[in-house]
Amino acid sequence: MRLHTHDYRAADSDGIVDGAILMHREMSELLTRRGSVAWHDLTRGPDCVTGVGAGETVYAGSGPYAFLYHHWRERTGGDFRIVREVHTALWSGYWAQEELCAPLVRPGDLALFPTAYTRELFLRNFPALTEGGSAVAYPMLDRMPRRAARPVPPAGRRLRLGYLGALSLAKNFDQVLSVFARCHRETGGRVDLVCAGKPNAPRWEADAVRARLRAAGVADGSVRIEGVWPQARLAEFFDGVDVLLFPSTASRETLGRVVVEALAHGVPVLAADVGPAVELLPARNLVPTTLDTAGTFDMGRVGPLGRVDEDALVAKVLTRDFAEASVRCPAPYTDAAFLRALGGPPAPVDTAHDRALPAAIRVAPRTGTDPAERTAAATRLFRAFFERRDDTVTTALDALAARTGRDDPALRRIVAAPHRNLADYRAFPRLLDALVLPPLTYTLAPAPVGATTMGDTA
């Protein structure tokens, strides 16, 4: 039986640093080795599904666009199965995908999630999504070394802290710097920091970070700021650190790919005790976290859901109160789990995970137009954008400006850009936000007395 999927092997993703994009490309390479795959180009429109035979499977592994396959299946009278993915949590892109897919999902279709936490979040918010129609699978371990756990340096010995990922407030990178500065000061300079990643604001550029740390009493020689680290050199990065700090509570976080990468390289991780890290790490390596229950947040923007307890994190670093590296539940992160999901219902994976955060999240309901109308409008916009019918998109932006009294130059620049890149989630999804499905808002409810973070099973 053939598998049909968008051809991501030659995707132009230069300058795009995103774990989901990397996963899309890795899966295309995996399926190439598997054979019996019919490649297509999603941006070419509904013709990409006309050759799918009855009972065959379409793997929608190309970003938050699975609604297109579901819509075209209805239009063309197709009788095939669709496996879709959700790679971010509280982001308008994948939230919109699930809204648009909901009335079109059929028995046998499957949604894949990187973690049980993410699956729990979507199960709570999308009645059309069922436990039997969803699974946890994010293959990556088979492309990584499985190094033995590195011994934790004893207290008093020099310690090398690492940070790998976006340098942003959403990832609580400012807390990494604060914790490092305190540890450096309290040990008389026997703690170093190496951080690698893309700064998302001028305050996180290398010179600004060094100036910030100098003001906190840290000499330049105790910190290395490496910029974006190539995937092929991950082993070199992890060879230079003793423990990775991952205090991220980013609203879009569904895995923390760097957590699995660190564990595979034998490096322990200290992380926030909410979200995906709960099922990846032992409880000893989780840091108490306070959620931000004070505001209303926009799914069109990424931000932190809370802040880790810096006193607790400093104490763990100084006393070496953390366990050695170990992948607690490796099954979902193997090629075998992914390929089983493509072939049929995957074996269930039971793992303790964060139930408290999904229960705390309150998403404002969508009101307005009929779901079928929204799906048709989103599909028309997708085709107009990728088929370079710029006059259609420009006319829609003109109407939006007239209706709201505001024109957005950033949206105009997306349309004026010379290239259309499916891998650029800053482009078409932003047009979809503006013209079809405005981002929803969400709040975080205070945890009830006696609430627990750890669930029983996935």
Q: How many separate helices (H) and strands (E) can be counted in the chain? A: 16, 17
**Residue-level pLDDT at 16:** 54
**Residue-level pLDDT at 121:** 97
Picking from 156, 162, 136, 117, the residue whose alpha carbon sits closest to that of residue 281 is 117
pLDDT tens column, 291-327: 999 999 999 999 999 999 999 999 999 999 999 999 8
Partners of residue 164 on adjacent β-strands: 196
**Residue-level pLDDT at 457:** 35
Residues in contact with 14: Cβ distance below 8 Å, sequence separation at least 6, in sequence order: none
Parse the chain into domains and list their residue ranges: 159-327, 371-436
- Cα(93)–Cα(98) distance, integer angstroms: 9
CATH 3.40.50.2000 fits domain 159-327: yes
Mean pLDDT of 56-63: 93
Average pLDDT, the chain: 92
- Cα(252)–Cα(259) distance, integer angstroms: 15
When pLDDT is cut at 50, 70 and 90, the band that residue 280 belongs to is: very high
Lowest model confidence (mean pLDDT) among 114-118, 230-234, 275-279, 289-293: 230-234
Do 128 and 107 contact (CB within 8 A), yes or no? no
- Does residue 450 carry a pLDDT above 50? no
Lowest model confidence (mean pLDDT) among 222-226, 231-235, 312-316: 231-235
- Does residue 458 carry a pLDDT above 80? no
**369-374: long-range contacts, CB 8 A cutoff, minimum separation 24:** 371/99, 371/100, 371/102, 371/103, 372/103, 374/99, 374/100, 374/436, 374/437
- Does residue 449 carry a pLDDT above 50? no
**Residue-level pLDDT at 22:** 79
Predicted TM-score (pTM) of the model is 0.94
